[in-house]
Amino acid sequence: MIFKKITLFLCALGFSLPVFANLKVFACEPEWAALVNTLGAPHVSVTQATTALQDPHQIEARPSLTAQARRADLIVCTGAELESGWLPMIQAKANNPKILSGQPGYFMAADYVKLLDVPTSLDRIHGDVHASGNPHIQLDPRNYLPIAKALSARLSQLDPKHANAYEANYQHFKQDWEKALISWQQQAKQLQAMPIVVYHHSWIYLNDWLGLKQVSTLEPKPGIPPSASHLSNLYAQIQDQKIKAIICSPYESQNAAKWLSQKTNIPVIVLPFTVGGSKDASDLKALFDVTLAQLSMATAHDHG
């Protein structure tokens, strides 16, 4: 009873007790929130800034996000300009030097993998392209191994008291993930060279991993909504391509995809894109289990 009264008194004065002194992490996207929780439990408290139903390019820098960033010891985001439209604003308003670029509390996952689709020139005529390369690195499960290694080291750097726990979590994740990769590779053999159409040019890492053949995009250029003329040209273009699926993410409009599907009888597949993108994609492993299962179903049907 006495301890409880002392605790309440200290809390009333704004003191934090050691049992609550978790490393506070601001994760920009669901996949990084999931990875931090896997590597950091039980010594991290993770705030997830976006959901799978939101376009990570276009997030409102809400005051609630700024307040969370102000309290953070570490931000974990994709980088490669994916969050350039909102994260710098949050960092500026948060006035938290720990999470600024160059500080230990600033972690961009894209810094630890090879980026694909790096433009040779930048011009708005090409649409919304990223100078550093395509940022949607979360769709290749192979990328998680180097990112997890670097992130585990960063957690240990910021919280050396629990470094052994972070290292143990990383080793467990690595062993488990490497086994899953072998299993996924076996499942993916049937997907090699499968022709697909996608809404946005955001599946390049999935294509690279699985060997999918991306024939075209519903967007005429990155970030430019599908136009009637572009869809008509696309319809003519894919007549003899034996396309197996039209791929969309949960946050993209499906109107254009459904129009093309009705014209061609090619199914629209909404892949999870990240953790939480479907009911069953509840964690990182499930994200790829669900993705492979949905793509495999598309190979089983002849859509003419």
3-state secondary structure 145-168: HHHHHHHHHHHHHHCHHHHHHHHH
Check residue 120 and give its pLDDT: 74
pTM across the whole model: 0.89
Q: What ranges make up the beta strands (E) of the chain?
A: 23-27, 44-48, 74-77, 106-108, 195-198, 213-217, 245-248, 268-270
Please give the CATH number for the structural domain made up of 190-301: 3.40.50.1980
Residue 158: partners with Cβ closer than 8 Å, 6 or more residues away: 23, 73, 74, 104, 105
Mean pLDDT of 1-8: 46
For residues 10 and 31, the model is more confident at 31
Residue-wise pLDDT for 239-290, tens only, equals 888 999 999 999 999 999 999 999 999 999 999 999 999 999 999 999 999 9
Check residue 251 and give its pLDDT: 94
Q: Domain boundaries in the chain?
A: 23-182, 190-301
Q: What ranges make up the beta strands (E) of 33-186?
A: 44-48, 74-77, 106-108
pLDDT band of residue 14 (cuts 50, 70, 90) is very low
Tell me: pLDDT of 19 over 80.
no
Is-same-fold flag (23-182; 190-301)? yes
For domain 23-182, the CATH superfamily is Nitrogenase molybdenum iron protein domain (3.40.50.1980)
Mean pLDDT of 209-233: 92
290 and 274 in contact (C-beta within 8 Å)? no
Check residue 233 and give its pLDDT: 93
